Amino acid sequence: MRDQGLQNPTDKPLRLSGTRFTATYLLHGPAIDAQRAAEDLCIEQTIEYPADLVRDEGIRSQIFGRTLALDPVHPHLTRATISFAVEIAGGELTQLLNTLFGNISLKPGIRLVDVEPVPELIAPYRGPRFGTAGLRELLQAPTRPLLATALKPMGLPADVLADLAHDLALGGIDLIKDDHGLADQEFGHFRERVERCSAAVRKAAAKTGRPCLYAPNVSGPADQLRQRARFAKAAGAGALLVAPGLVGFDAMRMLADDDSVALPILCHPALLGSFVVHPSHGIGHGVLLGTLARLGGADISIFPNHGGRFSFSTQDCREIVQACRAPLSANRAILPAPAGGMRVDRVAEMRQFYGDDVVLLIGGDLHRSSNLIERCGELRDLVAGG
């Protein structure tokens, strides 16, 4: 027999470091409900257990989330600042995601908009291996915008894609990535594509004397991720394309951390849209495609530019850019790569909006010309110098 509920009957009381980090959430709903919603969140994201049944003082004072502030934004929107013990996130990106938004993803009306980068929280993550500075060094482009494009459409044979990659490199594109739909299909095998395209890009770079990085898409089965990355490295690929929405943020982190690969990582947002598209729910654009992408080791974060085929606003894009560049403990700043139906005629405007620490990712529009190499040259001229 014992009393209702749980306590820690041992002589080993819980002793955490006392270091906590804050996460900021926007709570949609009447301000009068915000206090309860924040308290629910504090419990849901930690003990997920009836709080009244926990009588252990160590758990109550150290494990429970804490509401530090509730700031009304307007009558139906409250900004809640919640703190969690750093130990709860456990030094694992999976558990950090779980702590920040695991169970509450199942509730409408809650949006995670900021995570405080306390050093003890961030320290377990090696972060981007190259970042902005490392990429610029690799590409011998100290100040200008970098240029990227995608190999597509799916259905073309490897040798045709390789010819295309060759011409794009010859034309002056810095980064040539697989379209994220190129996987390991019967009509387009991963290994053949990676070997041919890597070789073609290196051949073109040897001709021009300018570095160019080919980034094959290694997003695939969990038990083949490392092998694909290592194969790509051995074949001479210069970077990797990874979609953390498909493989998990921590799988991207694993590839970034693999010293036997050591290639720049381009983060693709496939399947991640559901976290951001509803302003009243999910994870803020900056947190998801900036902060979490960096913790996951991305050197470049691809996202849909405003005014393209997708629905991101200028403010959404600004948040991503800020999170790519903001201090994040010892993590390197990374490059935003606005994409999604971008056109050569928008380059000037994009430079104005993003500045020059940016990757301009232009796909189909490059092909609206009878001479692809010349068209790339025109684009290159637009960002010349530096």
Among 79, 73, 69, which residue's Cα sits nearest to residue 112? 79
Position among 36, 55, 207, 278 found at the interface with a second copy (CB under 8 A): 278
Position among 25, 38, 41, 62 found at the interface with a second copy (CB under 8 A): 62
φ/ψ region of 329 (left if φ > 0, alpha if ψ in -120 to 50, else beta) reads left
Question: Is 49 a binder of a second copy (CB under 8 A)?
Answer: yes
Question: Is 309 a binder of a second copy (CB under 8 A)?
Answer: yes
Distance CA 54, CA 62 (A): 12
Question: Is 108 a binder of a second copy (CB under 8 A)?
Answer: yes
Among 343, 344, 265, 341, which residue's Cα sits nearest to residue 308? 341
Exactly one of 28, 180, 233, 268 is catalytic; which is it? 268
Active site residue 152: yes
Position among 104, 173, 201, 359 found at the interface with a second copy (CB under 8 A): 104
Position among 25, 101, 130, 214 found at the interface with a second copy (CB under 8 A): 101
Question: Is 9 a binder of a second copy (CB under 8 A)?
Answer: yes
The span of 3-11, 30-38, 137-145, 376-384 binding a second copy (CB under 8 A) equals 3-11
Among positions 221-260, residues that touch a second copy (CB under 8 A) are: 221-223, 225-226, 243, 245-248, 250-251, 253-254
Q: Are 212 and 141 in contact (CB under 8 A)?
A: no
Question: Residue 137: helix, strand or coil by DSSP?
Answer: helix
Among positions 311-340, residues that touch a second copy (CB under 8 A) are: 311-312, 340
Position among 80, 82, 88, 323 found at the interface with a second copy (CB under 8 A): 88
Within 13 Å of residue 27, how many CA atoms lie on the same side as its CB?
A: 28
Question: Residue 226: helix, strand or coil by DSSP?
Answer: helix
Within 13 Å of residue 18, how many CA atoms lie on the same side as its CB?
A: 0
Nearest-approach distance from CB 53 to a second copy, in angstroms: 5
Helix (H) or strand (E) holding 92: none
The span of 92-100, 128-136, 229-237, 345-353 binding a second copy (CB under 8 A) equals 92-100
Q: Is the dihedral of CA 332, 338, 340, 342 positive or negative?
A: negative
Phi then psi dihedrals of residue 280, to 5 deg: -90, 10
Nearest-approach distance from CB 3 to a second copy, in angstroms: 6
Active site residue 306: no
Position among 39, 114, 116, 179 found at the interface with a second copy (CB under 8 A): 179
Q: Is the dihedral of CA 178, 179, 183, 187 positive or negative?
A: negative
Q: Which is nearer to a second copy, 85 or 138 (CB)?
A: 85
The residues carrying an active-site annotation are 152, 268
